Amino acid sequence: MPKELWKGNEAIAEAAVRAGLEAYFGYPITPQTEVLEYLSRRMPELGRTFVQAESELGAINMVYGAACTGVRVMSSSSSPGVSLMMEGISYIAGTEVPAVLVNVMRGGPGLGNIAPAQGDYNQAVHGGGHGDYQPIVLAPASVQEAIDLTVLSFDLAEKYRAICMLILDGPVGQMMEPAEMPEMKPIQRANWDWATDGKMGKRERRVLSSIYLDPIEEEKMNLRLLHRWRAIQENEVRYKEYFLDDAEIVVIGFGTAGRVALSAVREARAEGIKVGLLRPITVSPFPHKIIDELAGRVGAFLVTEMNSGQMLEDVRLSVRNRVPVEFYGRMGGVVPFPDEILNEIKRMTASKLSVDANPRDAWLDRMARI
Amino acid sequence: MQKEVIISGFGGQGVLFGGQVLAYAAMDTGKQVTWIPSYGPEMRGGTANCTVVIADHEIGSPLVKNPPLVIALNLPSFDKYEPLMQAGGTLIVNQSMVDRAAQREDIHVLMIPCNEIAEEIGDKKLMNMVAVGALLSALHEVTLKDIEKALGNHLPVRHKHLLPKNYEALARGYGYAQREWDKVPA
């Protein structure tokens, strides 16, 4: 297919359609609304289901119901809307049905603003809903990646009967870039042995529920999820490396923060600083192994995020105090410019770094001087 | 190679489309490109801007702090971006909408009467294309021909009858800018 100029949000919508999306339920919220708007036109055109629900709660429970029938189903929202969906997300996880959810993150907490942010990392990666479950979380940084990961998210959700969430920050949703769409796939409903799609008098009755009144049965279910999670960790880690071969400092950032860091890393390289970039594409499962490996051969890490250092904790878990980890973040909807990250890289080359310092405290002290 | 352009003006001046035309031309000639709008409440009636980054490698930041190339279609945009420009950069100003001269001496400022030129062609909505034409005099990676082709390739069929006047607006803007460059002492 030839490249076309696609806006991130609309590209996700079209990619989902081409991946066989049969039902979409959502509620408008900036900066995500184009996903819903696009599908409100496209889905009826194809005879597929589109519902603008009465609220995010309604939307996620409609997703839950449709997911039980085994069709490809999706919702999308932005930070405050995703918070509203958390109960439903936990129920979907507890029922072990596949669903795809897109969060185009904005500034927060609370109503916040509509500017780009990555403050929902912890909510997506480490929890959100109640109970023991872990969603697969993908973090595209470009429109092409958003397309590819949307298609992948349906495959992963079905393969592991899990929730697959795409977290984007505003720029990825709002930006236009040349990108290639996959071919339109005809809808092929898999013959799932769990789907409640009507027994038509031909088979045993199936029941899907997240209720396990017997704790032993609930624990069995928890173990099932964990074993699946172990397989996900084993097979599904994705990331992109830039200039890592001879790097002495490694910057780690996802989404837009990762892109901004790439510009800074290029500028630092032009000045002769041996710095590389690791951009996680799956933030859950987290690329612990490569960071563990890098910690054995590089001098220091710089984590850069559009939040107060949420992924920072996962990086520190992989580095285990072997080398210093520094942090630079912007919050509230502020997107860092490359020169800010370049300054951090230069500061790190010029000063003596310690593994004992708390990177967030040190960053906060530096921020206070700005 | 990497070039960054900011186009800024009132909502309704064709700011976003002006940037998209550049993005299409860059894409069609095999370059990497990002186009990103300001998407805040300002889209509803106030000032609007978009940033276009054109490169021959994977583009990092889609936003730029100190742009080398800016089109300012109104006075608030002129006021906002003149101080932010990279030294040595080129600022295209829509002279029809400003009432002051440039203050900086370390950037090139081209004053282009975009509204008047567009009105001479017969459609004042073409002022954004006049400005894009003028910009090309300082953005050599994208040619007038590239933009014309891109418009032909990507303009919806129902708008194809507007092509000749768009081409004229681009050429007039480019020509006017070239004459301004000729006045710059070598």
- pLDDT value of position A95: 98
B40 Cβ under 8 Å from any chain A Cβ: yes
pLDDT higher than threshold 90 for residue A299: yes
A190 Cβ under 8 Å from any chain B Cβ: no
Q: Do A176 and B59 touch (CB under 8 A)?
A: no
The model carries a pTM of 0.95
- pLDDT value of position A1: 67
CA distance A20 to A51: 17
Q: Do B60 and A339 touch (CB under 8 A)?
A: no
Distance from CA of A259 to the nearest CA of B (A): 4
Question: What residues of chain A lie within 8 A of the CB of B63, using their CB?
Answer: 171, 260, 335, 337
Whether the ipTM is more than 0.90: the answer is yes
Question: What residues of chain A lie within 8 A of the CB of B55, using their CB?
Answer: none
Distance from CA of B64 to the nearest CA of A (A): 7
User: pLDDT-derived band of residue A238, with 50, 70 and 90 as boundaries?
Assistant: very high
pLDDT higher than threshold 80 for residue A276: yes
Mean pLDDT over the full length of chain A: 96
- pLDDT value of position A369: 75
Exposure string for A253-267, b = 16+ CB within 10 A, e = fewer: bbbbbbbbbbbbbbb
Task: Name the DSSP letter for residue A275.
Answer: E
- pLDDT value of position A188: 84
Sequence-separated (6 or more) residues with CB below 8 Å from residue A325: A300, A301, A302, A303, A312, A315, A316, A319, A359
Q: What share of chain A is helix, strand, coil (3-state, %, to 5)?
A: 45, 20, 40
Phi, psi dihedrals of residue A74, rounded to the nearest 5°: -150, 155
User: pLDDT-derived band of residue A2, with 50, 70 and 90 as boundaries?
Assistant: confident
> Mind listing the domains of chain B with CATH numbers?
2-183 (3.40.920.10)
B56 Cβ under 8 Å from any chain A Cβ: no
- For B20, the closest of A171, A176, A263 (CB atoms) is A176
Residue range A161-185, pLDDT digits in tens = 999 999 999 899 999 999 999 999 8
User: pLDDT-derived band of residue A190, with 50, 70 and 90 as boundaries?
Assistant: confident
Distance from CA of A154 to the nearest CA of B (A): 27
The answer to whether A251 and A275 have CB atoms below 8 angstroms apart is: yes
Strand order of the β-sheet with A275-280 is A239-242, A275-280, A249-252, A300-305, A325-329
- pLDDT value of position A64: 98
B55 Cβ under 8 Å from any chain A Cβ: no
pLDDT higher than threshold 90 for residue A40: yes
- For B24, the closest of A5, A114, A259 (CB atoms) is A5
B32 Cβ under 8 Å from any chain A Cβ: yes
B103 Cβ under 8 Å from any chain A Cβ: no
% of residues, chain A, pLDDT over 90: 95
Q: How many CB atoms lie within 10 A of CB A357?
A: 14
Interface test with B, best of A1, A5, A78 (most B CBs within 10 A): A5
Question: What residues of chain B lie within 8 A of the CB of A261, using their CB?
Answer: 60
pLDDT higher than threshold 70 for residue A103: yes
User: pLDDT-derived band of residue A96, with 50, 70 and 90 as boundaries?
Assistant: very high
User: pLDDT-derived band of residue A226, with 50, 70 and 90 as boundaries?
Assistant: very high
CA distance B13 to A75: 35
Sequence-separated (6 or more) residues with CB below 8 Å from residue A107: A113, A114, A115, A116, A117, A119, A331, A332, A333
- pLDDT value of position A169: 92
pLDDT higher than threshold 80 for residue A78: yes
- For A5, the closest of B23, B40, B61 (CB atoms) is B23
Domain boundaries, chain A: 4-235, 240-368
Give the residue on A whose Cα is nearest the Cα of B21: A5
pLDDT higher than threshold 60 for residue A187: yes
Using CA atoms, how far residue A25 sits from A101, A147, A249, in Å, is 10, 19, 44
Smallest CA-to-CA distance from B51 within B30, B70, B28, B32 is with B70
Fold type of domain A240-368: Rossmann fold (3.40.50)
CATH architecture of A4-235: 3-Layer(aba) Sandwich (3.40)
Interface test with B, best of A168, A176, A330 (most B CBs within 10 A): A176
A339 Cβ under 8 Å from any chain B Cβ: yes
10-residue averages of pLDDT along chain B (186 residues):
96 91 96 88 68 97 96 95 97 96 96 97 95 97 96 90 95 96 82
Q: What is the mean pLDDT of residues A267-281?
A: 98
The residue type of A335 is: V
A256 Cβ under 8 Å from any chain B Cβ: yes
Smallest CA-to-CA distance from A80 within A127, A41, A130, A32 is with A32
- pLDDT value of position A370: 65
